[in-house]
């Protein structure tokens, strides 16, 4: 594991977002925190969103400022449109514009170990965040980006849309819904605002490492099924997710990009 981390750290960080502003939802922990920090390393000022992980979000703000960039802390429950409208006003009042939105927030029903554990409450919770909340975010911030004349939105999806989720089918349904939102708003906002979806494979976040199934053989099984032979941490995926918001992807919209070490191997 040490060798892998050193290899990633030695890779150059391209300054793709100098002079731009980025909002990352769910940036208090895990993948969201990694994306926010990477955006700052690439030159962006960053709005760090959280719902309840304030201490984690404050730590992310410090990472952004340590990279020499401005950071603001914003709080909202993204399943509430009123809270999203209030958050949008805060971001635009502070930055004057928003160039990139990364919709990272999602509910993976981490505590659910089997489809047999499903109930109506967990279905409603997951779909409320993954579909309704993502739609609210795209709609509210995308409309403002359209008014300002340009922008890019990256929705964090999942490879479960390819292989399904025997553990939590409502999670797969929620992420599949994100594909519909991505394609729909890509058409609505084109050509001024691009909307794409990024699907990381399994990520060794702190939450993942605490999972019961991860520590009872699942990790080893997944590594054996992954051609690249390892499960990365969140920092390694962050640059790939931000690619979709960069000028290098200027002609990409409505796309679904997978980065999972070959685990899914989608055909033509």
Residue 71: band (very low, low, confident or very high) from pLDDT cuts 50, 70, 90: very high
Sheet holding 45-50, edge to edge: 71-75, 45-50, 21-24, 100-103, 151-156, 193-200, 256-259
User: How many helices, marked H, and strands, marked E, lie in the chain?
Assistant: 11, 7
Q: List the single range of 74-83, 124-133, 242-251 with lowest mean pLDDT.
A: 124-133
* Cis-peptide into 49, omega within 30 deg: no
pTM of the predicted protein model: 0.90
Pairing between β-strand 71-75 and β-strand 100-103 as defined by DSSP bridges: unpaired
What letter does residue 247 receive in the DSSP assignment?
A: G
pLDDT at 109: 61
For domain 18-257, give the CATH superfamily. NAD(P)-binding Rossmann-like Domain (3.40.50.720)
The answer to whether 148 and 97 are in contact (CB under 8 A) is yes
Cα 101 from Cα 78, distance rounded (Å): 13
Residue 111: band (very low, low, confident or very high) from pLDDT cuts 50, 70, 90: low
Residue 170: band (very low, low, confident or very high) from pLDDT cuts 50, 70, 90: confident
Cα 153 from Cα 236, distance rounded (Å): 20
Gyration radius (Cα) of the chain, Å: 18
Residues 191-220: pLDDT tens digits? 999 999 999 988 877 776 777 676 777 788
Q: Which of 67, 23, 62 is nearest to 42 (CA)?
A: 67
Check 50, 171, 185, 237 and give the catalytic one. Answer: 171
Please give the average per-residue pLDDT across 66-77, as a whole number. Answer: 98
Catalytic status, residue 171: yes
pLDDT at 268: 58
pLDDT at 4 over 50: no
């Amino acid at each position: 594991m040490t060798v892998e981390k050193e290899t990633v750290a030695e890779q150059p960080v391209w300054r793709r977002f100098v002079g731009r502003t980025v909002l990352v939802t769910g940036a208090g922990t895990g993948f969201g925190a990694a994306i926010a920090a990477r955006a700052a390393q690439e030159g962006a000022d960053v709005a760090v969103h959280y719902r309840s992980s304030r201490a984690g979000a404050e730590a992310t703000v410090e990472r952004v400022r340590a990279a020499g960039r401005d950071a603001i802390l914003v709080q909202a429950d993204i399943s509430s449109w009123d809270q999203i409208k209030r958050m949008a006003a805060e971001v635009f009042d502070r930055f004057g514009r928003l160039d990139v939105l990364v919709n990272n927030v999602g509910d993976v029903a981490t505590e659910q170990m089997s489809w047999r554990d499903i109930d109506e409450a967990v279905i409603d919770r997951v779909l409320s965040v993954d579909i309704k909340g993502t739609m609210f975010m795209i709609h509210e911030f995308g409309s403002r980006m359209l008014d300002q004349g340009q922008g890019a939105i990256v929705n964090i999806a999942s490879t479960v849309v390819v292989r399904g989720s025997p553990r939590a089918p409502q999670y797969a349904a929620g992420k599949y819904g994100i594909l519909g939102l991505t394609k729909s708003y890509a058409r609505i906002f084109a050509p001024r605002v691009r909307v794409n979806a990024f699907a990381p494979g399994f990520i060794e976040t702190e939450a993942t490492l605490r999972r019961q199934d991860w520590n009872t053989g699942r990790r080893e099984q997944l590594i054996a099924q992954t051609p690249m032979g390892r499960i990365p941490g969140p920092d390694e995926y962050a640059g790939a997710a931000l690619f979709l918001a960069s000028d290098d992807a200027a002609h990409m919209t409505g796309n679904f990009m997978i980065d999972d070490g070959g685990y899914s191997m989608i055909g033509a």
